[in-house]
Amino acid sequence: MNRYFGNRLAVFVFAFPALLLFTAFVIYPLFPEMMISLQNHDGFKSEGFVGLANYMDVLNSQTFWQANKNTLLVVALSIFVGLPISLMLALLMDAQTPSIRRFFKAAAVFPAVLSVTVVAQMWIAFYEPTWGLFNEILRTVGLGHLAKQWLTDKDTALISVAVALFWQYIGLNALLFYTGIKSIPKTYYEAALIDGAGYVKASIKITIPLLQDVVKYVLIISTLGSMALYAHVRIMTMGGPGDASRTIVYQMYYTAFERSEFGKGTATAMLFIIECLIISFLINRFVAREKIEI
Amino acid sequence: MTFRKFEMNLVNYGLKVFLLVLGCSFIFPLYWMASLSFKSKSEGYDNPFGLPKVWVFTNFSKALGKYHFFTYFKNSIIYTTGTILITLLIGSMLAYCLSRMEWKYSKTVLIYISLGLIIPIEVVIIPLFMMVKQLGIKDSYFGLLLPYIAFSLSSCTLMLYAFFRSLPKELEEAACIDGCNIYESYFRIIMPVVMPALATQCVLLFMRIWNEFPLAFIIAGRDRLRPITIGLLDFFVSIGVADWGLIGAAMLISSLPTIIVYMIGNEKIENALTAGAILK
C-alpha cells in the first residue's frame, strides 16, 4: 500500500499539469507586473527603468484617490447595507410558507446567472432620464421634481451603479444565508421557545451568532467582488461623469489599455493587490473567530 | 381576534408581499427582454416596460443579421466546456494527489494553490495580456482558455480536496488487491465515486466562465474569438441605443442558453452555490 500511495512518478503525473498552469498564469504574472510597474512601458516596449516614479505619479494623482474613495464607498455599502439586507431576506424566507419560499429561492439566483451585459443594460433602461422606469414612477406619484439623470449626475452615478451590482447578487447572498440558517439544529429554537423567546429574539440570540461561518464567507466574496467592480461601471457609466463613478480596477484598465501607460497601470494594480490583502487581513482579524483557511 | 394578533398578521402579510415583489424583480429581466424583443423601434421608447401593443416579429431576424450570435455562441461554448473539462481533469488529479498520496510537500502545495483564492483575476490582467501576446496565443482560443483554467483551479481543487478526504482508503486497497495500478484505480474507481462533486463543480464553472467579463473584454480582441458577453456589448455599442427592440431580441437570444440551463438545473445550481460556502 505504501508503494501505491507513495509512488513518486504518480505524484508527479497527478500534480504537475495543474501546478504548471496555476504557476504560469496565476502566480508568475505577479513578477512581470512588479517589473513593469518600475518601468516606463507602453505595452510594446520599455523606455527603461524609472524606479518608483510610476508609484509616485499614481499616488499623487487625484483620480487615483477619487477611484479609491469610490471603490471603498461601494465596499462599505455592500458590507453595511447589502449584507444586512440579504441576511434579513434570509430570515424572512425562513419564516414564510413553503410555497413563497420556493418561489423566492428559484427567483433569487436568476440575476446572478444572467450576463452582466444584460443586467447593466436593464438598469440603463431603468435609469434613463426621459422614459426610464424610475423617473416615470416618480412622475406618476407626483414627485416629478425628484426625477434625475441618474447615471450622468455626479451625485448619483456611483450609487446607481452600486445598486445594480447589489441587486444582481443580493438574492444569491440571501440564499447562502438561508442555507446556513437551515443547518442550525431545530432543538436550539425549541429550547428558546420554552424559555419564552419570540422569533425576533431567537434570531438575534441564536441564528446570527451561529451563522458566523457563512457571514464570513459571504462577507469575503462580496467585499472582494465590490473591490473589483469593473464591468458594471464600464457598461453603465464609463467611470463618468468626470471621475464620479471611477473604480480602482476601472482606473487600472483605463490607464493601461486606453492610455497605453502600462507602467502606471501595473503600479495601480500593485497598489490594488496591497489593498485587497489589507482588507482580507482586516476581515480575518476582526470578523472571523478562527482564522480563515486561505 | 385580539388587536395584537391582527397587528402581527398585518406585519406578516406585508413581509409576504415584500418578498413576492422582490422575487418578481429578480425575474423581471426575463419579462423585460421578452417583451422588448417584440416591440417596434418607436414603441421601445413610448412603451418601454409594458407588454407590446403591436407585436413585431422581425427583430430576431434583424438582430441575427447584424449580430454574429452563432459565432459568439460557439466561442462561449468552446471557452466554457474547454475550461470545465480540463479544470475538472487536472484539478481533481491534483486534489487526489494532495489528499490521498503520501509526499513531503503536499501541505505546502495545498497552501500554495490556495493563494489563487485571494488573487482576483483583475489584478494580473495587464501582465496576462502581455504574456498571451508574447506566447502567440492571443489569436487563438487558448488565449482565454489557459488563464480561465488556471484561475478556476484553486476553488475546484480545494473543494474536491475536502471531498476526497472523506472517502475511505479501503476503496483503493480493494483496487490494489485486484491488481489495479494507481491510474486505473483513479479513473475507474475514484472518479465515478466523486461524480456528484464533479457535477457541482461543473455548474459553478459554467456560471463563472459563461458570464466572465473583465478578461474576455481585453484578451478576446478579435470579433471571431469573442464570447457572448463581449459580443453583446459590442452589438449594443454598434447600434447605439437607437433600437431597443433589436437590443431586446439580441439579449433574449444570448440569454436563452443560461435560462435553459437555469430552468433545468435550478435546484442543482442552488446546491452547488451553497456548497461553495464550505470552502472557506
* Chain-chain contact of A117 with B233 (C-beta, under 8 angstroms): yes
Q: Compute the average pLDDT of residues A177-194.
A: 81
Confidence at residue B241, expressed as pLDDT on a 0 to 100 scale: 64
Confidence at residue B75, expressed as pLDDT on a 0 to 100 scale: 92
A188: number of Cβ within 10 Å: 14
B116 touches A at CB < 8 Å? yes
* Chain-chain contact of B280 with A27 (C-beta, under 8 angstroms): no
Residue B131: phi, psi to the nearest 5?
-60, -45
N residues, chain A:
294
A164 inside domain = yes
A235 inside domain = yes
- Which of A7, A8, A21 is the best substitution to test chain B (most B C-beta atoms within 10 A)? A21
Confidence at residue B185, expressed as pLDDT on a 0 to 100 scale: 81
Confidence at residue A91, expressed as pLDDT on a 0 to 100 scale: 86
Structural domain including A155 reads: 69-286
Confidence at residue A24, expressed as pLDDT on a 0 to 100 scale: 92
* Chain-chain contact of B218 with A253 (C-beta, under 8 angstroms): yes
Confidence at residue A294, expressed as pLDDT on a 0 to 100 scale: 34
Residue B180 has pLDDT above 80, yes or no: no
Report the distance separating Cα B3 and Cα B9, nearest Å: 10
pLDDT tens digit sequence for B95-154? 988 888 878 888 888 889 988 888 888 889 999 999 988 888 888 899 899 999 999 999
Tell me the count of A-B CB pairs closer than 8 A. Answer: 271
* Chain-chain contact of B127 with A273 (C-beta, under 8 angstroms): no
> How many domains are there within chain A?
1
Residue A192 has pLDDT above 70, yes or no: yes
Residue among B26, B108, B177, B277 nearest A216 (CA): B277
Nearest CB to B101: which of A10, A110, A122?
A10
HSE toward the beta carbon, residue B169, CA cutoff 13 A:
8
Chain A residue numbers with beta carbons less than 8 Å from the beta carbon of B239 are none
A197 inside domain = yes
A88 inside domain = yes
Rg over alpha carbons for chain A, rounded to the nearest Å, is 24
N residues, chain B:
280
Say whether A141 sits in a helix, a strand or coil: coil
Q: Compute the average pLDDT of residues A77-87.
A: 92
Confidence at residue B152, expressed as pLDDT on a 0 to 100 scale: 92
Confidence at residue A132, expressed as pLDDT on a 0 to 100 scale: 84
Distances (CA, A) of A137 to A89, A148, A198, A199: 25, 12, 38, 36
Place of cell 512601458: A41
Task: Give all domains of chain B, ordered by start, each with its CATH number.
Answer: 62-278 (1.10.3720.10)
Residue A135 has pLDDT above 70, yes or no: yes
A14 inside domain = no
Confidence at residue A6, expressed as pLDDT on a 0 to 100 scale: 64
**8 Å CB contact between A115 and B211:** yes
Distances (CA, A) of B84 to A255, B76, B91, B205, B230: 33, 12, 10, 6, 20
Percent of chain B predicted with pLDDT > 70: 95
Task: For chain A, give the mean pLDDT.
Answer: 85
Confidence at residue A55, expressed as pLDDT on a 0 to 100 scale: 92
Chain A residue numbers with beta carbons less than 8 Å from the beta carbon of B218 are 253, 257
Chain B residue numbers with beta carbons less than 8 Å from the beta carbon of A261 are none
Confidence at residue A72, expressed as pLDDT on a 0 to 100 scale: 94
* Chain-chain contact of B172 with A125 (C-beta, under 8 angstroms): no
B223 touches A at CB < 8 Å? no
Report the distance separating Cα A192 and Cα A205, nearest Å: 9
Task: For chain B, give the mean pLDDT.
Answer: 84
* Per-residue cell: B176: 490494489
Q: Compute the average pLDDT of residues A272-280.
A: 89
Percent of chain A predicted with pLDDT > 70: 96
* Chain-chain contact of A92 with B18 (C-beta, under 8 angstroms): yes
Residue A5 has pLDDT above 70, yes or no: no
In chain B, residues 126-145 whose CB comes closer than 8 Å to chain A? 126-131
Chain B residue numbers with beta carbons less than 8 Å from the beta carbon of A180 are 277
B113 touches A at CB < 8 Å? yes
Highest mean pLDDT among A120-134, A188-202, B59-73: A120-134
Q: Compute the average pLDDT of residues A5-16.
A: 80
Q: Which of A106-120, A141-155, B212-226, B246-260 has the lowest mean pLDDT?
A: A141-155
Distance from CA of B251 to the nearest CA of A (A): 6
- Which of B13, B19, B47, B126 is the best substitution to test chain A (most A C-beta atoms within 10 A)? B126
Percent of chain B predicted with pLDDT > 90: 16
Distance from CA of A187 to the nearest CA of B (A): 23
Domain of A268, CATH number, reads 1.10.3720.10
DSSP string, A212-241: HHHHHHHHHHHHHHHHT--HHHHHHTTT-S
Confidence at residue B271, expressed as pLDDT on a 0 to 100 scale: 74
Chain B residue numbers with beta carbons less than 8 Å from the beta carbon of A15 are 93-94, 97-98, 109
Confidence at residue B4, expressed as pLDDT on a 0 to 100 scale: 64
